[in-house]
Amino acid sequence: MCTGLSYTTKNHYFGRNLDLEFSYNEKVTITPRNFPFEFRRVPPLPTHHAIIGMATTADGFPLYYDGTNEKGLSMAGLNFPDNADYKPEAADKTNIAPFEFIPWVLAQFDTVTQVETALTKVNLVDIPFNDDFPQSPLHWIISDSDRSLAVESVRSGLRVYDNPYGVLTNNPTFDIQSFNLNNYMHLSTNPPENNFSDQLRFDTYSRGMGAIGLPGDLSSASRFAKAVFTKMNSISGTSESESLSQFFQILGSVAQQRGCVRVGGEDSYEITIYSSCCNTDTGVYYYTTYENSQITGVDMHKVDLDSEELVDYPLTKGQQIAMHN
Ligand SMILES: C[C@H](CCC(=O)NCCS(=O)(=O)O)[C@H]1CC[C@H]2[C@@H]3[C@H](O)C[C@@H]4C[C@H](O)CC[C@]4(C)[C@H]3C[C@H](O)[C@]12C
């Protein structure tokens, strides 16, 4: 399971939790403007926008999980098992393989609205990267500082939804996730009032009772409701420290602790492998990992963005403890 998030204070921030039981050796990866992007079915992009994000590089190609370009456009792929349905090549369409989708979008577009127009021609074609990296069932959140989309290639075709929450988790499809929120409209950040019966007296014995009923389990439908509630009610100052802290707190509200979600075998548990938060205005990509609560940052503008070579930074994974004595 995963959770993607877009959040605006003075600057715009975009990131995600990556929840999985193993790692593909992902690194913070910068693709500079002259890295030659080649695609399977559409023309290459020898020059393009620079990108920073989390990726596994294979055969020299950056397989992005999430990323932001130098114009502030961002995109993340999240698991979408049994619903993702990629198509055969179509002659009248722009045929993009799923693993190319993030690079193809971030390489050339500046805004969500531009992407939305381009998506009317896009066909997510069923071409895997190679035998070592078979097809992933994904859907995507695409955001800028103004708006977000959810993009899903399902049996009935490519579905592009306006995403007013700036949140994406996993199954079910985005229309059902949105509909489910109707069940939570009674939740409040204020103390509850007695609508139960005027013949009974109740005691608001604890703070937070207005949101009793907000799910706390780790299923994707529950994480969606929880992340939307937390984000929509989120209040923070506008400094970098306050904004970043709030962003990681929202992601923390739906993080996965080892032991709570068993997958497959005896000792296999899904955990939040990393949480990321990119300041999309400054191009600084911040992350924490399961065992490294200290925020680590990479500034895309500190490398030569006109070069042709990928630059990557292995994750700092152990705790960085600041001792007082
Ligand atoms: C599984 C990851 C999403 C996290 C998530 O939702 N996990 C929940 C798993 S489950 O529902 O509970 O089973 C996704 C996000 C990005 C994906 C990766 C990126 O798409 C980049 C490449 C793409 C290649 O086709 C496959 C390997 C891969 C390296 C992908 C592996 C995997 O599918 C990733 C890492």
Q: What are the tens digits of pLDDT across the range 228-275?
A: 999 999 999 999 999 999 999 999 999 999 999 999 877 899 999 999
Q: Which two tokens stand for residue 201?
A: 């007296």
How confident is the model at residue 266, as a pLDDT?
A: 77
Query: Residue written as tokens 């609508």?
Result: 195
How confident is the model at residue 263, as a pLDDT?
A: 93
Residue ranges of E strands in the chain: 2-8, 12-20, 27-31, 51-58, 61-69, 74-79, 94-96, 122-124, 138-143, 148-154, 157-162, 167-168, 271-279, 284-289, 292-299, 311-314
Task: Tell me what the mean pLDDT of segment 102-120 comes to.
Answer: 98
Which residue's CA is minimally distant from atom 32 of ligand 1?
Answer: 136
Q: What is the pTM of this model?
A: 0.97
Share in percent of the chain as helix, strand, coil (round to 5) = 20, 30, 50
Residues ≥6 apart with Cβ < 8 Å to 147: 112, 113, 162, 163, 164
CA dist., res. 126 & res. 65, Å (int): 18
Which of 24, 151, 275 best tests ligand 1's pocket when mutated (most atoms within 8 Å of CB)? 24
How confident is the model at residue 307, as a pLDDT?
A: 98
Task: Tell me what the mean pLDDT of segment 198-207 comes to.
Answer: 97
Residue 154 clears pLDDT 90, i.e. is over it: yes
How confident is the model at residue 1, as a pLDDT?
A: 60
> How do residues 271-314 score in pLDDT, each as one tens digit?
999 999 999 999 999 999 999 999 999 999 999 999 999 999 99
Which residues' Cβ are closer than 6 Å to ligand 1?
A: 1-2, 18-20, 24, 56, 63, 65, 77-79, 81, 99, 128-129, 133, 135-136, 138, 170, 270
195 backbone dihedrals φ, ψ, rounded to 5°: -105, 5
CATH class belonging to 2-176+237-314: alpha beta
Task: Tell me what the mean pLDDT of segment 209-238 comes to.
Answer: 97
CA 235 to ligand 1 center in whole angstroms: 31
Domain segments of the chain as ranges: 2-176+237-314
228 backbone dihedrals φ, ψ, rounded to 5°: -65, -45
CA 70 to ligand 1 center in whole angstroms: 24
> How do residues 19-51 score in pLDDT, each as one tens digit?
999 899 999 999 999 999 999 999 999 999 999
Tell me whether residue 278 is one of the annotated catalytic residues. no
Q: Which atom of ligand 1 is nearest to the CA of 65?
A: 16
Beta carbons of 41 and 310 less than 8 angstroms apart: no
Task: Tell me what the mean pLDDT of segment 93-103 comes to.
Answer: 98
